Amino acid sequence: MKLANSQRGFTLIEMTVSLGLFTIIMFIATSAFLSIVNTDRKARSVRIASDNLNITLEDMSRRIKTGSGYDCGAIGAPTDCASGLSSLTFDDQDGNQVTYSWDNINFSILRNGVPITSPEIVITGLKFVVSGSAPAPDARQPMVAIVIDGSLGSGTTESGFKIQTTVTQREYDNQ
């Protein structure tokens, strides 16, 4: 009677090779998954910073649109400035004085001395160009152009931007 090799299975070498291949494949898959998670976190932070910048710019535009007496020269009286300065003072619709300025130390936009942009946003420049605000008998509608330079995010996900918008004064109807 011939003893047949009835016990079939894997040899130790086959098990070692398959375990090694499995480990390499799992390492590559885990690395790819962690890379995707990290990229998603960075993209989410850039999106949140971008949303914050949009809200800031929208709030500035709304307040400027319904305000009056624009002064970018900080002399306390409505003045035009064609060259553009980094601060704007005006009276809002409730008669309160509002000043927007650039904080060149913390690289943020300030409203009455309080930062209104998130720390993820680095503002490298802010200019206000005002026309039609000078107390002269002109028929021009007061207009403010806002130019913002900066970057969102940090490191490899840093995205530079330059935003410009123009806001014209809308007389607030008190009736």
Predicted confidence (pLDDT) per residue in 6-49, tens digit:
667 888 999 999 999 999 999 999 999 999 998 888 888 778 88
Task: Return the pLDDT at 133.
Answer: 78
**162-174 average pLDDT score:** 76
Residues 145, 147, 143, CA angle at the centre, nearest 5°? 5
95: left (phi > 0), else alpha (psi -120 to 50), else beta?
left
Place of tokens 């098990």: 15
Q: Which residues pair with 163 in a beta bridge?
A: 148
Tell me whether residue 103 is in a domain: yes
Tell me whether residue 68 is in a domain: yes
Tell me whether residue 89 is in a domain: yes
Contact, 142 vs 131, CB < 8 A? yes
Task: Return the pLDDT at 73.
Answer: 66
Tell me whether residue 37 is in a domain: yes
**159-166 average pLDDT score:** 88
Tell me whether residue 6 is in a domain: no
Tell me whether residue 142 is in a domain: yes
Total domain count for the chain?
1
Residue span of the structural domain in which 31 resides: 26-168
135: exposed, middle or buried (Cβ count in 10 Å: 0-12, 13-18, 19+): exposed
Tell me whether residue 19 is in a domain: no
Tell me whether residue 125 is in a domain: yes
